[in-house]
Amino acid sequence: MSEPPRPPGDYGPPSDPNFGYPPQPPVSGGGYGPPPSSGGGAYPPPPTSGAGYQQPGYQQPGYQQPGYQQPGAYGQPGGYGQPGAPVGYANSDEKTWALIAHFGGIFFGFIAPLVALLAKGNESPTVKAHANEALNFHITWGIILFVGAILSVCTLFITLIVPWAIIIIFAIIGGMKANNGELYRYPMTFRFIK
């Protein structure tokens, strides 16, 4: 006797009480005899009701072995950091400082990433990496902006507008990447600080 195919997702107990056990020789009365109880391969008796029956080697959906955590991304259960932490960071404080390093440079130049590096750089390697990248970018383009400001009198402010636009565009891109938990490596940047 075999059971007909089941629809997908139907994991209920099979209707045949001997399902999963080797066929047993019939005994008088038309039923199956008890499984062998002695000798090399003793089998447990088949369940009398379908409740709690589980096919050998099968795990119920949603079952998790004790002491095992599913691997996850940063901030996810089983991942790096506290539960509920933003992706890519150990906690929300790290994300805040990384965003200050990138977006703060638009308004305060190299001062914002320098503050982030000094405030949290020794405690968090993630904040240190973001602050170093932003600091190198803003130092490089701060020098270019200073030279452009001097030359802007002769060039009708083009040497002032172009560097300022580049600073804004790339700082926004760096901040958006940091918001997603990624480290952005700024282009056109001299690496003063490693």
In a domain, 108, yes or no: yes
Residue 84 included in any domain: no
In a domain, 117, yes or no: yes
In this predicted model, what pLDDT tens digit does every residue of 85-134 receive, in sequence order? Answer: 788 888 899 999 999 999 999 999 999 999 999 999 999 999 999 999 99
Inside any domain, residue 59 = no
Domain assignment of residue 114, yes or no: yes
Q: Is this model's pTM higher than 0.75 or not?
A: no
pLDDT of residue 75: 42
Domain holding 156, by residue range, is 92-179
**In 68-187, alpha helices (H):** 92-108, 111-120, 125-151, 158-179
For residue 132, the model assigns a pLDDT of 95
Tokens for 12, please give them. 């209920």
Structural domain includes residue 160? yes
Query: What is the spatial distance between Cα 147 and Cα 78, in angstroms, rounded to a whole number?
Result: 50
Q: Is residue 158 part of a domain?
A: yes
Q: Is 105 inside a domain boundary?
A: yes
Instruction: Indicate the SS3 state at residue 70.
Output: coil
pLDDT the model gives residue 118: 95
End-to-end CA distance of the chain: 72
Domains: count for the chain: 1
- Angle, helices 111-120 vs 125-151, to 10°: value is 160
The list of the chain residues with pLDDT below 70 reads 1-4, 6-84
Q: What is the pLDDT of residue 34?
A: 56
CA 99, distance to chain mean position in Å, is 19
